[in-house]
Amino acid sequence: MSTHHEQYDDAIRLKDQGDLEGAATKLLAIIAEVPQHALSHSAMAVVMQKLGKADEAIAHAKKVVELEPNDPFSYAQLSVICQRCGRIAEAEDALARNQSMSGRRH
């Protein structure tokens, strides 16, 4: 049986090869076993955005923020995902949070 790290690496490899559905399946399997696996939620946000599933993409990006609220990158990714999904106000809010955590101003 492979570890979650190996499954995650396999999912990323599939994503990079363009097999978004395969990557999503592997990532969801990890999340089912380890719901707090932030990297899998982060990757799922990207995969879902690329598949055109905006609500799911944003939900996974928000889960990363929930799991890692003190990591500025969590907010940066949420901002990018929201922007790419056309949710500009949410993107700007997440970017502002990222910048305040990073000690930067607009």
- Lookup: tokens for 21: 């559905």
- Based on its alpha-carbon atoms, the radius of gyration of the chain, rounded to whole angstroms, reads 14
Q: Would you kindly state where each structural domain of the chain is located, as residue ranges?
A: 4-102
Q: How much is the pTM?
A: 0.90
Percent of the chain past pLDDT 70, that is, above it, reads 96
Q: How far apart are CA 63 and CA 34, in angstroms?
A: 13
pLDDT tens by residue, 34-73? 999 999 999 999 999 999 999 999 999 999 999 999 999 9
Residue range 4-102, CATH number: 1.25.40.10
pLDDT category at 106 given cuts 50, 70, 90 is: very low
DSSP per residue, 14-65: HHHTT-HHHHHHHHHHHHHH-TT-HHHHHHHHHHHHHTT-HHHHHHHHHHHH
